[in-house]
Structure 1
Amino acid sequence: MSTSFSFRSILDNDFYKFTMQQGVIRLFPGAGAKYHLINRGQHSFPEGFEDHLRRAVGEMALLKLSTAEKQFLQVTCPYLDPVYLDFLEGYRYNPKEVRIRQEGDQLSVEVEGLWYRTILWEVPLMALICELFYQLTGAIRVSDDEVLGRTCKKIERYQDLGVTVADFGTRRRHSYDVHRLVLESLSDHGARSFIGTSNVHLAMLHQTRPIGTHAHEWFMFHAAKYGFKMANVMGLEHWVAVYRGDLGIALSDTYTTAVFFSQFDKMFSKLFDGVRHDSGDPVAFADQVIAHYEQMGIDPTTKTIIFSDGLNYEKVAVIADYCRDKIGMSFGIGTNLTNDVGPQAMNIVIKMTAAHPQDGIWTDVVKLSDEHGKYTGTEKMIALAKTILDIR
């Protein structure tokens, strides 16, 4: 079966990839990184999938930042400095950084190179894999009108809940076309709830706000460079050094939430606007966060939790009912918005597996989220991290 797919913009990526890239360029320009695909859903890839993916990855080298896109970033994101924007204008994807292999129906994707370059591959690679998978397996989706209608009903229900919602759905979207339709409907019907998207390209097209701060890999690299005990603290310190109070939502579950809050002292608690929930029981997490702020003498209602873990309306309704009047909240919704069009949503991730600090050695990295099924890394390194951090 033939495919028709190419990325439309170098900004068709999650915003936190660009914010982290600026931090890496400024602080760790000589660092290296490795990533690989994890097929959590045990999806079977059709014969020849690797060839189609390799061709699409090759086309990524043609992307470049346009003058209009650079101007959008200058106006919308003043914390992205001119030197970084000039760099991004000259940046080109290098397909040689990506290794793609297929054995039978199983796919292997690995990325390796300088961190400041390879950091942009994760999200578009996942979006490519998803869209090509649906094309090559002949999966049939609902009509464009149905996509628009479903999204309209969803955002109207969120408005009735009185909550704010952002689109976090780039990485596992059904396709670029579906994603654009979703943003069109959210923009047209979500005036009281829709606050932006993690996708910078679509934020520009729909004149909304790009949303994001940092991801797990920021702290995973810091563990490789400074050790597990210092990873959270140094990661937060360096984020503050780069952004000076902007982009103030901290990701809390790279090495479990309990470890994070034991290190999230009063300075960090006051300086950061809030935290993002990405694994584990969201209600239990809310209790932890509220208790932490109260212990620090901080009014929890002045802070915000961004919930972003596998959300749908039912989950959001439970969380909103529990958190209302206790702490600020907002919701980043991904797959349920951008891949709810008929075919089963794919369950894949691409994670950093090793980091090479400048003048250091390759070191395996791990993520120990609050949900054991989301642990990533080698068994040996996971056990070492749990021992050092006293995670039982």
Structure 2
Amino acid sequence: MRGYEHANGIAMDLWEAVYHDVLLIALTDTFSTKAFWQDFTADPARARRWRGLRQDSGDPFVFAGEAKEVYERMGIDYREKMIIYSDALNEDKRLRSRSSATPSASTVRPRSPLPAPSTPRGPSFGIGTFLTNDFRSLSSGGKEKSKALNMVIKLASIDDKPCIKISDDLLKNTGDIATVYRVKDIFGLPK
């Protein structure tokens, strides 16, 4: 393992070495979006190659505005990129994200990943707890929707070294708390 400093950039480079020019959607909140932007803006050529970003914690409307600003600072046309929203989506949140996903709303205009990254299709949404739970309970005779299972699978350790995740939701950290605090210090994040 290579440490936490520049971990986002290292991860993107390793990912790209395996998947080349496909599946290049960056998850921004492994160590917080603040830490991600530092590595992302350090390599504008890589940012140009990557098709978009996946927003998985925090406020999607704030995130979209930040993404637009970041792309513009690097001289990248944000309209060529996509955002995939995937944080605890339900139908209401999806509809609000969709209706405000326009440049006039100070957001990146998200693109659908298919058929081509430059094809305007509107916002894209990742599967999740609420959007994939469309089952009806047998005990209600099929009249009531089943309770959504909030299942998240996260890495706990690699070679006996603890893995962590620092979400943009300040209280949603995962992993060894001492390591979380140490990494928050590295990135200048509040504890």
SS of the aligned residue for 1:297 comes to coil
Find out whether 1:336 has 2:130 as its counterpart.
yes
Residues 101 and 109, structure 2, Cα contact 8 Å, conserved in 1: yes
Report what 1:304 is aligned to. 82
Shift of 1:257: 0.5
Shift of 1:335: 2.5
Deviates more, 1:315-324 or 1:343-352: 343-352
Higher gyration radius (CA): 1
Aligned length: 163
Report what 1:350 is aligned to. 153
Q: Looking at both structures, which has the greater relative contact order when contacts are Cα pairs under 8 Å and sequence separation is at least 6?
A: 1
* CA–CA separation in structure 2 for the residues paired with 1:249 and 1:274: 5
Residues 312 and 336, structure 1, Cα contact 8 Å, conserved in 2: yes
Residues 353 and 365, structure 1, Cα contact 8 Å, conserved in 2: yes
* CA–CA separation in structure 1 for the residues paired with 2:76 and 2:175: 36
SS of the aligned residue for 2:5 comes to helix
Shift of 1:380: 0.6
Report what 1:374 is aligned to. 172
* CA–CA separation in structure 1 for the residues paired with 2:60 and 2:13: 26
Residues 52 and 82, structure 2, Cα contact 8 Å, conserved in 1: yes
Structure 1 residues 313 and 343, CA gap change in structure 2 (3 angstroms): closer
Match of 1:343, as an amino acid? S
Ranges in structure 2 where 5+ consecutive residues have no aligned partner: 111-122, 137-144
Find out whether 1:245 has 2:8 as its counterpart.
no
Report what 1:189 is aligned to. none
* CA–CA separation in structure 1 for the residues paired with 2:125 and 2:152: 20
* CA–CA separation in structure 2 for the residues paired with 1:240 and 1:291: 24
Counting aligned pairs with the same residue, the percent is: 39
* CA–CA separation in structure 1 for the residues paired with 2:177 and 2:126: 31
Report what 2:63 is aligned to. 285
Shift of 1:349: 2.6
Find out whether 1:254 has 2:30 as its counterpart.
yes
* CA–CA separation in structure 2 for the residues paired with 1:333 and 1:244: 24
For residues 195-219 of structure 1, give each alpha carbon's deviation from its aligned partner in whole angstroms, at most 9, with x where no partner exists: xxxxxxxxxxxxxxxxxxxxxxxxx
Shift of 1:252: 0.7
For residues 159-211 of structure 1, give each alpha carbon's deviation from its aligned partner in whole angstroms, at most 9, with x where no partner exists: xxxxxxxxxxxxxxxxxxxxxxxxxxxxxxxxxxxxxxxxxxxxxxxxxxxxx
After TM superposition, the structure 1 = structure 2 runs for residues 32-181 of structure 1, keeping only pairs within 5 Å, are none
* CA–CA separation in structure 2 for the residues paired with 1:382 and 1:337: 30
Report what 2:109 is aligned to. 327
Shift of 1:311: 1.1
* CA–CA separation in structure 1 for the residues paired with 2:171 and 2:189: 15
Q: CA RMSD, aligned part only?
A: 1.5
Match of 2:109, as an amino acid? I
Match of 1:355, as an amino acid? I
Shift of 1:287: 0.9
Residues 310 and 333, structure 1, Cα contact 8 Å, conserved in 2: no
Shift of 1:319: 1.3
**TM-score computed with the length of structure 1 as normaliser:** 0.40
SS of the aligned residue for 1:290 comes to helix
SS of the aligned residue for 1:335 comes to coil
Residues 293 and 300, structure 1, Cα contact 8 Å, conserved in 2: yes
Ranges in structure 1 where 5+ consecutive residues have no aligned partner: 1-224, 357-361
* CA–CA separation in structure 1 for the residues paired with 2:133 and 2:77: 37
Residues 53 and 84, structure 2, Cα contact 8 Å, conserved in 1: yes
Shift of 1:372: 2.5
* CA–CA separation in structure 1 for the residues paired with 2:38 and 2:6: 12
Structure having the higher helix fraction is 1
Match of 1:354, as an amino acid? S
